[in-house]
Amino acid sequence: MTARKIAKKHIADLLNEWRQGFNVFVPSRDEGVAKWARWDGGDAEFLEWYRNTVVPPKALFFPPLEEMFSFHKDGDGYRVEQPPPAEERWLIFGIRPCDARALAVLDLNFKEGYEDLYYLKRRENGVLVGLGCTRPYESCFCTSLGIGPTDAADVDLMLTDIGAYFLVEAVTDRGEELLGKTSLVHAATGADEARAEEARKAAGARVTRKIDSQGISEKLRASFEDKGFWERVSAKCISCGICTFLCPTCYCFDISDELVKRHGARFRSWDSCAFSLYTKMPMENPRREKWRRLRQKVCHKYEFYPDSFDVIACTGCGRCIRLCPVNWDITWVLSSLPVQKQVGLET
Amino acid sequence: MALSDVSHRPRFLREGNVYLPHPAVIEKIFSETADTKTFHFNFRDEKLREEFTFQSGQFCLLSVLGVGEAPFCISSSPTRRDHLECSVKEVGRLTRTLHRLRVGAEIGFRGPYGNAFPLDFLRGKNLVFVGGGIGLAPLRSLIWNVIDNREEYGRIDIIYGARTPADLCFSYDLEAWQQDKTVNMVTTVDKGDEAWKGQVGLVPVVLEEVAPSPDNSVAIVCGPPIMIRFTFPALEKLGFTPGQMLTTLEKRMKCGIGKCGRCNIGNIYVCRDGPVFSYAEIANFASSEY
């Protein structure tokens, strides 16, 4: 498939064309925090400031709060109503490779065994247009997890910044379809492709933070019972849960009911292993202590999830580092595991 | 055999929206103790009533819409298909609401979830049931299951205890098993009263006195964590190996189907891979948080 390109000044026009067939979402900071918002025309001003959103795109597929169904109490019984199936097609413009990979990671949990239709329906109807990352944050470490800041692996269409233009590559058939009707996209030249390749290399080199993810599950397994270590690395954690809420691969949720007179609904909402209520039972709580909860968070991502699905549930997006109110740092925890040296080279 | 291999288990009610509870109606309510009630219920949907199956050891999520949902083991036996039973101890908001419901009230049911007691493994063996308090509920499902196919199993010992005679659950079952000549039923309380004619003593201690032989035997243990913690060593003293001891674990759950995250022990999800585990499996968990 030959590469194509689009002028940056035409992005707004392209989004407007796509808006005819999709609900288009773009990065926005209208409400003060960078998150995803519906494109309503205007300038593509986000191209100026966008590095990554604070709220990850998982929120579009797995909302912080969603109604699962509603009910009306009717004598001794209930009349249950499900929300209509999400049929609308939508397009996420500008997703970063780390966050696109995160969705692929989430798919595994929501598909395994019983299918979670709330999430999967939205995934099915969503098209991802990736935007290569040229200005990664200091806290980013995606390259340590096998993801490049300009990787196209998990999106339908990929854009790479080559100056006044974006190089455009259709990754999937759905991506190709997006280009089918537009006249804003032109054939790219060999020089464009060379420029894109340079941009990719340069972007990768800008990710300077590293972890050694080789054999990390084994190291964690060997460090599991080291209570002193976990107490030390969780000492400053205030259990606020922000690292899990804003993590693009965290999916833990709560289910709760609301009832007003005879009408009510069942909701699901994001939950967090950082909270002691999360595992609290009437008589006991397996993770009452903070160090146990933080250990769960780290091990879930780097040991338990790989055990189940063969993939680390972290994409190195760095949000948990740069958004933590007390500067907790997962890369520091991973690189100071007590058994680092003994097992590090054997795996 | 890996007890938690659930890949081939039947999955009912798994099509469509798996989070949608199925309406069921309470048909009968028994007060077991001051804080525990057993609910007999049936699906509203006739087709479901006929087609629904489960296995001893599996659990379900019961809803009172508007209040919430929580996991309970199905305490009736799959060999007795007339209705389903769950025994509920009042410990929080949902269980308090359940306790206030009357016959005819509608509840929501999701399930059956989880693995089950491995009947293929148990068949032909001597079974030692060790239960405490409300922990008899999942055992009871299996006990009736086994009694209803009595010739397929060897000796049956049941050692069941509670704090006081008033805390014994399923007194009607205890009586039936007492009278069943093919079952050795031993009931004990931590503290008796004047009318009490059974044993007095903690379950693990009484277990050691009864001293069932470990030969071709499997012990199935369920009760409060403290009882389980002392019962495993008692069984080991009697010669049972970790592979000959089964239990069911309990964790806080929301989804019941391995998605919401909280009931994990390492990479094991109690709702998806359990709740039935052998002591050998538990000892192998990547986490000691069981």
B68 vs A225, A256, A280: nearest CB = A256
Position B66: which residue type? G
Largest distance between two CA atoms of chain A: 73
- pLDDT score for A87: 74
A332 close contact with B: CB closer than 8 A: no
Interface of A with B in 215-244 (CB under 8 A): 221, 224-225
Which CATH fold topology does B119-248 show?
Answer: Rossmann fold (3.40.50)
Q: Which two tokens stand for residue B67?
A: 């209040």
How far off is chain B from A297, nearest CA to CA, in Å? Answer: 11
**Residue in B with minimal Cα distance to A107:** B259
Q: Cα(B131)–Cα(B133) distance, rounded to whole angstroms? A: 7
For the stretch B86-128, pLDDT in tens is 999 999 999 999 999 999 999 999 999 999 999 999 999 999 9
A113 close contact with B: CB closer than 8 A: yes
**Interface touch B266/A299, C-beta < 8 Å:** yes
Interface size A-B, in CB pairs within 8 Å, comes to 133
Mutate to test the interface with A, among B5, B17, B285 (most CBs of A within 10 A): B17
In degrees, rounded to 5, the angle at the alpha carbon of residue A119 between the alpha carbons of residues A118 and A120 is 100
- pLDDT score for A347: 41
B257 vs A113, A281, A299: nearest CB = A113
How far off is chain B from A172, nearest CA to CA, in Å? Answer: 28
Which CATH fold topology does B22-113 show?
Answer: Elongation Factor Tu (Ef-tu); domain 3 (2.40.30)
Task: List every span in chain B annotated with CATH 3.40.50.80.
Answer: 119-248
Q: φ and ψ at A158, to 5 degrees?
A: -125, 135
A253 CB neighbours in chain B (<8 A) are: 254-255, 259-261
For the stretch B32-76, pLDDT in tens is 999 999 999 999 999 999 889 999 999 999 999 999 999 999 999
What band does B13 get if pLDDT is binned at 50, 70 and 90? Answer: low
Total residue count of chain A as it appears in this document: 347
- pLDDT score for A84: 76
A245 close contact with B: CB closer than 8 A: no
Residue-by-residue pLDDT tens, chain A, 347 positions: 578 999 999 999 999 999 999 999 999 998 889 999 999 888 999 999 999 999 999 999 999 999 999 999 988 789 998 887 777 899 999 999 999 999 999 999 999 888 999 999 999 999 999 999 999 999 999 999 999 999 999 999 999 999 999 999 999 999 999 998 889 999 999 999 999 999 999 999 999 999 998 899 999 999 999 999 999 999 999 999 999 999 999 999 999 999 999 999 999 999 999 999 999 998 889 999 999 999 999 999 999 999 999 999 999 999 999 999 999 999 999 999 987 655 444 44
Average model confidence (pLDDT) across chain B: 92
B108 CB neighbours in chain A (<8 A) are: 78
A256 CB neighbours in chain B (<8 A) are: 68
**Residue in A with minimal Cα distance to B268:** A304
B250 vs A77, A114, A281: nearest CB = A281
- pLDDT score for B286: 63
Q: Is B224 helix (H, G, I), strand (E, B) or coil?
A: coil
A310 close contact with B: CB closer than 8 A: no
B20 close contact with A: CB closer than 8 A: yes
B20 CB neighbours in chain A (<8 A) are: 68-69, 80, 82
- Among B160, B155, B87, B74, smallest CA distance to B117 is for B74
In chain A, what is the straight-line distance between the N-terminal and C-terminal CA atoms, in Å?
Answer: 39
Q: Which two tokens stand for residue A84?
A: 């209509």
Q: Cα(A269)–Cα(A231) distance, rounded to whole angstroms? A: 29
A88 close contact with B: CB closer than 8 A: no
Element (H, E) at B204: helix B203-210
A224 vs B106, B225, B287: nearest CB = B287
In chain B, what is the straight-line distance between the N-terminal and C-terminal CA atoms, in Å?
Answer: 21
Mutate to test the interface with B, among A257, A277, A310 (most CBs of B within 10 A): A257
Interface of A with B in 154-213 (CB under 8 A): none
Q: Cα(B168)–Cα(B187) distance, rounded to whole angstroms? A: 9
Q: Which two tokens stand for residue B213?
A: 């032989």
**Residue in B with minimal Cα distance to A264:** B66
Helix, strand, coil share (%) of chain A residues, nearest 5: 40, 20, 40
Please, which residues have CB within 8 angstroms of residue A301's CB and are 6 or more apart in sequence? A249, A312, A313, A314
Q: Summarize the confidence of residues B165-192 as an average pLDDT.
A: 95
> DSSP secondary structure string, A139-203?
T--GGGGT--TT--TT-SEEEEE-SSEEEEEE-SHHHHHHHHS-SS-EEPPHHHHHHHHHHHHHH
- pLDDT score for A340: 61
The residue ranges of DSSP E strands in B90-229, in sequence order, are 106-113, 126-132, 156-162, 183-189, 199-200, 217-222
- pLDDT score for A344: 46
A308 close contact with B: CB closer than 8 A: yes
Tell me, rounded to whole angstroms, the distance of Cα A326 from its chain centroid.
22
**Interface touch B68/A257, C-beta < 8 Å:** yes
Task: List every span in chain B annotated with CATH 2.40.30.10.
Answer: 22-113
